[in-house]
Amino acid sequence: METNTEEKILIAAREIFSQRGFAGTRMQEIADRAGINKGLLHYYFKTKETLFKAVFKEAFLQISRKLNEVLSSERPVMEKVESIVDEYLDLLLANPNLPGFIVNELHTNTEAFIAEIMSMSERPDPSLLIMQLHLDSQAGKIRQVDPFHTVLNILSMCVFPFIARPMLQSMVHLDDATYLHLMRQRKAAIKDFIRHAIQSPDQSAMS
Amino acid sequence: METNTEEKILIAAREIFSQRGFAGTRMQEIADRAGINKGLLHYYFKTKETLFKAVFKEAFLQISRKLNEVLSSERPVMEKVESIVDEYLDLLLANPNLPGFIVNELHTNTEAFIAEIMSMSERPDPSLLIMQLHLDSQAGKIRQVDPFHTVLNILSMCVFPFIARPMLQSMVHLDDATYLHLMRQRKAAIKDFIRHAIQSPDQSAMS
DNA sequence: GTCTATAGGTAGATAGAC
DNA sequence: GTCTATCTACCTATAGAC
């Protein structure tokens, strides 16, 4: 229950920045949410940009660390793919507007700003998984697929529903509870979809 | 070659708003891009919000019209799915940052604002396709799949790569030309992926 | 460390000449 | 219709009291 001021500011800043974006955020709103005044904000974080970078870096690291963790593990390809879906969806369910925040800021801001942010943290690297898919594909262990597009398909199915949530919810008129319920079903749905999409013909005949 | 002032403004506004978002856009920047001054902007569009709504409505209509057009056609399910991928990707390739713009604004702005925008234009309605998938699934014409998640998977694979472009390009270090080249390959890659993911076991044994 | 008050700059919008 | 000049409001950041 002991939350110091700096932590209170960061908590508030995470919420506001991730919801409104950098340009749409007012320092006043962060101060209000944190239960302090504007002056104190600048005492802890000299500028709006400083505070934003702290929040964004943290968010980006959360995503990229998790992604790298699963992408670089040495397991067999289908196991690995399934663990990507499982673990990545866990992260997204716990932080539903993380990907929207990141993608939005990378899209809105200048390239210099992006480059600076990117240099702060290791980028996710899918090349090992792509290589694995390529080899297994050659060896006939999975169906002949384009490895790059396959990885992209997997990421798409996991992340997109969270980014496009407002759009999707208005399309099908789902309340928040129902939407989250569907997201929790997605792990199974995505893994099933992928399995059938990439399994070799012999195996699919057996199923 | 005859472009009147209103059209020049709209062209400039499309570019700036879709790149920087509503909050990040300066009227001055739009005026500069259009080659006119701020005063004239307000002569044609009373407020920044008026101008934004004109631009956003147009963008949203472009997406939803195309989507509805394919979603509501009366063709057999696999044909329909393939035409969604084909036609939707054509639209996205012609307007690469359309989805990022829309998703970003729906995410950043208040619910009241979103509701107002949504009421302006018919929403895309996937229920017919969901129903078709359900029936074909029951009838054994395709594999037993969850129709909702299947539709979501299809949309995800089409749209996500465009929304997450800056993120993806930095992950794999692709220049713009290479990235666009990969996007043009996606039609085939996605259709292949879907086909194998939802085809019934009998058919897959034959392939 | 925390507050109030305010400086300094910028952005949206208007007024008025041409 | 198009321009320049300006008003007004707001927002980041700082100064200074406690």
Q: Over 80: is that where the pLDDT of B173 sits? A: yes
Q: Could A207 and B192 be called an inter-chain contact, meaning their C-beta atoms sit closer than 8 Å? A: no
Residue A97 shares a structural domain with residue A173: yes
- Collect all residues with Cβ–Cβ distance below 8 Å to A32 and sequence separation of at least 6: none
pLDDT tens per residue, range B58-117: 999 999 999 998 888 889 999 999 999 999 999 999 999 999 999 999 999 887 777 777
Distance from CA of A100 to the nearest CA of B (A): 7
Res B33 pLDDT > 90: yes
CATH code at position A94: 1.10.357.10
**Which residues are CB-contacts of B50 (< 8 A; sequence separation ≥ 6)?**
none
Give residue-wise pLDDT tens across range B135-156: 999 999 999 999 999 999 999 9
Cβ(B9)–Cβ(B51) below 8 Å: yes
Amino acid at site A115: A
d(CA B56, CA B101): 8
Are A13 and A39 in the same domain?
A: yes
Say how many CA atoms lie within 13 Å of A173 toward its Cβ: 3
* Minimum CA–CA partner of A104 in chain B: B104
Question: With an 8 Å Cβ cutoff, is B36 touching chain A?
Answer: no
pLDDT value at A154 more than 50: yes
| Same domain membership, residue A42 and residue A60 | no
**Is the CB of residue A73 less than 8 Å from the CB of residue A80?**
yes
Do residues A112 and A71 both lie within one domain?
yes
Evaluate whether B6 touches B44 at the Cβ level (below 8 Å): yes
User: Residue A174 CA to C9 C1' — how many Å?
Assistant: 45
Answer whether B170 sits within 8 Å of A196, measured CB to CB: no
Domain residues for the domain of A121 are 52-206
Count up the domains in chain A and report the number: 2
CB atoms within 10 A of CB A3: 10
Contact A24, A16 (CB under 8 A): no
> At A142, phi and psi to the nearest 5?
-125, 170
Q: Is the pLDDT confidence value at B123 over 80?
A: yes
Q: Are residues B77 and B153 in the same domain?
A: yes
Sign of CA dihedral B1, B5, B6, B8: positive
What average pLDDT does this structure show over A137-159? 96
Are B100 and A97 in contact (CB < 8 Å)? no
Would you call B183 an interface residue with chain A, using a CB distance cutoff of 8 Å? no
- Output the pLDDT for position B8: 98
Please tell me the predicted confidence (pLDDT) of residue A207. 43
Q: What is the pLDDT of residue A84?
A: 94
Confidence of residue B207 (pLDDT cuts 50, 70, 90): very low
> Looking at the structure, do residues A22 and A57 belong to the same domain, yes or no?
no
Residues of chain A found within 8 Å of residue B118, distances taken between Cβ atoms: 170
Q: Hey, are the CB atoms on B153 and A189 less than 8 Å from each other?
A: yes
Question: How much of chain A, in percent, has pLDDT values that exceed 90?
Answer: 79
The answer to the question of residue B183 being in a domain is yes
Does B178 lie in the same domain as B102? Answer: yes
Q: Is residue B39 part of a domain?
A: yes
* Contact at CB, B185 and A161, closer than 8 angstroms: no
Tell me the CATH number at A30: 1.10.10.60
Q: A179 contacts in B (CB within 8 Å)?
A: none
Rounded to the nearest angstrom, the gap between the alpha carbon of residue A171 and the centroid of all alpha carbons in its chain is: 23
Q: What is the mean pLDDT of chain A?
A: 92
Judgement on whether residues A142 and A76 belong to the same structural domain of the protein: yes
Taking alpha carbons only, the member of A125, A152, A32 closest to residue B160 is A152
Same domain membership, residue B64 and residue B25: no
Mean pLDDT in residue range B120-129: 87
- Do residues B68 and B94 both lie within one domain? yes
What are the chain B neighbours of A24 within 8 Å (beta carbons)?
21-24, 108
Biggest alpha carbon distance in chain A?
68
**pLDDT on residue B115:** 78
Please report the residues numbered 157 through 176 in chain B whose beta carbons come closer than 8 angstroms to any beta carbon of chain A: 157, 159-161, 163-168, 170-172
Residue A42, judged by CB atoms within 10 A of its CB (0-12, 13-18, 19+), counts as: middle
Query: Residue B25 CB closer than 7 angstroms to strand C?
Result: yes
pLDDT exceeds 60 at position B168:
yes
Same domain? B192 vs B172: yes
A87 and A68 assigned to the same domain:
yes
C-alpha–C-alpha distance, residues B117 and B60, integer Å: 9
The answer to whether strand C lies under 7 Å from the CB of residue B48 is: yes
A193, closest residue in chain B (CA to CA): B197
